[in-house]
Amino acid sequence: MSRHASEERRWWQAAVIYQVYPRSFADGDGDGVGDLAGLLARLPYIASLGVDGIWVTPFQPSPQVDQGYDVSDYCGVDPLFGTMQQFDDLLAAAHALGLRILLDVVPNHCSSEHPLFRAAVAAGPGSLERELFHFEDGPDGDTPPNNWQSVFGGRAWSRADPSSETDLQWYLHLFSPQQPDWNWRNPAVGDYFEGVLRFWFDKGVDGLRVDVAHALVKAEGLPDAASTTTVTDGLRSNAQVSDQEEVHEVYRRWRRVAASYSPERVLVGEVNLEPARAARYTRHDELHQAFAYAFVKLRWDAEAWAAVGTDLEVGRREHGAPPTWALENHDVVRSATRFGGGERGALRARAGLLAILGLPGGAYIYQGQELTLPEVDVPLEARVDPMWTRGGVSRDGARVPLPWTVAPDNAFGFSPSGAAEPWLPAPAEWGSRSVEAHQQDGGSTLHLVIAALELRKQLFEKEVLQPDDGGTWRVEDGGLLVCERNDQFLVAVAMGEGSVRLPAGDVVVSSSPLTAEGLLPPDAAAWVLRG
């Protein structure tokens, strides 16, 4: 096989994917909620960035308790978002524009409205139907089977039928009570999900992002957890639900399914574990990629970036899969705010984005990151995130509808005219951060991203960058973070207080202009080609 063909075969290793959160991207039908029609109409915008594809978070039928992560039909389209015909049109249009499409699969739990869960509740204790989920007896009708806590707050168990005097069983839900967990120790669940994968792969979908990939299989016998702290940090403090060895069998089977298609379909996991444990999910016969999850939590701290980068590099060397970088997604505080807020936070978010686009591996851009949108302080009465309503933090601030126009009309161009109010309100200054504002400003982050992605393509063509490059990380005096990708290319980020001298070479792009002395100013990143 030619070098080009084999690289094409492994396109995901170096792909840049744009994450679309459909309810906040573009509203086509005017109900105030983004949808597939809106996404289809705005697809040329995404293609104009120069990314390789999009990941679309759930649009399948769902009561929307967790904004679609409570799925009641894995192989459909919720009327809120459109029709299957519109999805087919979207897929065809994306492919015509050279964009791959990845969808979300949510295998840890479904909606309590899923027909199989409803049937299980109705069938009662001892039935085969209940074995698809974790139904258990507690010591009594008031005490759950174990001490596990829900990620969204409160206990992880609810009574199947609280009003019944004879059915005293409880069911497990690591998230909200409307999201019952599947029992992955029952082979019927694996068979069911193979059907789901095949349904979307048969349609031509290029890959799937796997929700809560590390938590599908629970410890045998569902023993108590050592800690009962409410976990809002990805189940890490409950070792009984996280990273069980048997979960790897699930991904071996899925990899076989993905590899049976041509071109091979891609699996990218939300593996919220330490880098060394997460890397084990990308062994050669498991997931193709796992998000460098530690990065979405990082603050503006050179030592921390270098430490996480080095850990991820160890994982890459051991298992061969390059990291998949992401600084933002719909669950975490926007990087402009996480990095300090205000003008400085925005500069740092811009630098951080340029940096990850140069790092070895794949990268994900969350919608609005190319506009350096900050986290919005959504008014209390407008917040809808179940994490918030159950007592945790609110993730609504990263999910406010995207501003398309400078003028505030129609929710800053998010909706068509005459539309209902958007599902989350936008702040007054949203127009100055809009796509239109960025398009009009030649120095905007949007233009920087387009230029960087174009340059990235050229550097791959010239083989300066290779899909399987590694990364050697260090922090130089003055807080300069450096990741040497190979002997021709490095990424540098000025994370200290002053301007710093860059390693020798040509700066091919930087997020802020160099000083008159040729130094990289604070809060800026640069790509350096070495002689």
Query: Tokens at residue 312, please?
Result: 């991820």
Q: Which is nearer to ligand NOJ, 37 or 212 (CB)?
A: 212
Per DSSP, the three-state class of 224 is coil
Clarify whether 211 is annotated catalytic.
Answer: yes
Which residues, in sequence order, are CB contacts of 185 under 8 Å at separation 6+?
217, 218, 220, 246
Which uninterrupted H or E stretch holds 366? strand 362-366
The verdict on 63 binding ligand NOJ (CB under 6 A) reads no
Q: How far is the CB of 352 from ligand NOJ (least distance, A)?
A: 20
Q: Which is nearer to ligand NOJ, 174 or 492 (CB)?
A: 174
How many residues touch ligand NOJ under the rule CB under 6 A: the total is: 9
Per DSSP, the three-state class of 345 is helix
Q: How far is the CB of 404 from ligand NOJ (least distance, A)?
A: 24
Rounded distance between C-alpha atoms, residue 449 and residue 462, angstroms: 20
The verdict on 69 binding ligand NOJ (CB under 6 A) reads yes
Q: How far is the CB of 137 from ligand NOJ (least distance, A)?
A: 26
DSSP β-ladder status, 135-137 and 169-172: antiparallel
What character string, x for contact with ligand NOJ (CB under 6 A) and - otherwise, covers 281-300? --------------------
- In the list 73, 88, 167, 331, the residue contacting ligand NOJ (rule: CB under 6 A) is 331
The verdict on 364 binding ligand NOJ (CB under 6 A) reads no
Which residues, in sequence order, are CB contacts of 45 under 8 Å at separation 6+?
435
Q: Which is nearer to ligand NOJ, 106 or 500 (CB)?
A: 106
In a 13 Å sphere around the CA of 228, the CA atoms on its Cβ side amount to 8
CA distances from 308 to 71, 275, 431 (A): 33, 7, 36
Q: How far is the CB of 182 from ligand NOJ (least distance, A)?
A: 12
Which uninterrupted H or E stretch holds 190? helix 187-203
The verdict on 21 binding ligand NOJ (CB under 6 A) reads no
- In the list 211, 311, 328, 469, the residue contacting ligand NOJ (rule: CB under 6 A) is 211
Cα 311 vs. chain centroid, distance in angstroms?
Answer: 20
CA distances from 488 to 143, 314, 464, 507 (A): 62, 21, 7, 12
What character string, x for contact with ligand NOJ (CB under 6 A) and - otherwise, covers 377-416? ----------------------------------------
Query: Tokens at residue 419, please?
Result: 């539309």
Clarify whether 421 is annotated catalytic.
Answer: no
Candidate list 70, 264, 270, 523, residue with the active-site label: 270
Which residues, in sequence order, are CB contacts of 85 under 8 Å at separation 6+?
none
Q: What are phi and psi of 506, to 5 degrees?
A: -95, 130
Candidate list 211, 243, 396, 484, residue with the active-site label: 211
- In the list 40, 106, 215, 475, the residue contacting ligand NOJ (rule: CB under 6 A) is 106
Q: Which is nearer to ligand NOJ, 69 or 117 (CB)?
A: 69
- In the list 12, 175, 300, 339, the residue contacting ligand NOJ (rule: CB under 6 A) is 175
Q: Which is nearer to ligand NOJ, 169 or 272 (CB)?
A: 272
Q: Which residue is nearest to ligand NOJ (CB)?
A: 69
The verdict on 33 binding ligand NOJ (CB under 6 A) reads no
Q: Which is nearer to ligand NOJ, 111 or 372 (CB)?
A: 111
Q: How far is the CB of 133 from ligand NOJ (least distance, A)?
A: 16
Q: How far is the CB of 479 from ligand NOJ (least distance, A)?
A: 32
Residue 263: asked if its preceding bond is cis (omega within 30°), the reply is yes
The verdict on 212 binding ligand NOJ (CB under 6 A) reads yes
Q: Which is nearer to ligand NOJ, 300 or 388 (CB)?
A: 388
Q: Which is nearer to ligand NOJ, 152 or 404 (CB)?
A: 152
Q: Which is nearer to ligand NOJ, 311 or 396 (CB)?
A: 396
Q: How far is the CB of 274 from ligand NOJ (least distance, A)?
A: 18
Q: Which amino acid is at 240?
A: Q
In a 13 Å sphere around the CA of 369, the CA atoms on its Cβ side amount to 33
Rounded distance between C-alpha atoms, residue 489 and residue 497, angstroms: 25
Q: Which is nearer to ligand NOJ, 29 or 66 (CB)?
A: 66
Rounded distance between C-alpha atoms, residue 505 and residue 333, angstroms: 35
Rounded distance between C-alpha atoms, residue 439 and residue 409, angstroms: 18
Q: How far is the CB of 289 from ligand NOJ (least distance, A)?
A: 16
Query: Tokens at residue 223, please?
Result: 């023993």
The verdict on 328 binding ligand NOJ (CB under 6 A) reads no
- In the list 29, 66, 328, 375, the residue contacting ligand NOJ (rule: CB under 6 A) is 66
Q: What are phi and psi of 198, to 5 degrees?
A: -65, -35
DSSP β-ladder status, 16-20 and 362-366: parallel
Q: How far is the CB of 329 from ligand NOJ (least distance, A)?
A: 7
Instruction: Identify the DSSP state of 457.
Output: H
Q: How far is the CB of 151 from ligand NOJ (least distance, A)?
A: 7
DSSP β-ladder status, 53-56 and 525-529: unpaired
Calculate helix-pair angle for 36-49, 84-96, nearest 10 degrees: 10
Residues 258-277 that bind ligand NOJ (CB under 6 A): 270
Is residue 384 within 8 A of residue 68, CB to CB? The reply is no
Catalytic residue numbers read: 211, 270
- Which residues of the shown chain bind ligand NOJ in the complex (CB under 6 A)? 66, 69, 106, 175, 211-212, 270, 330-331
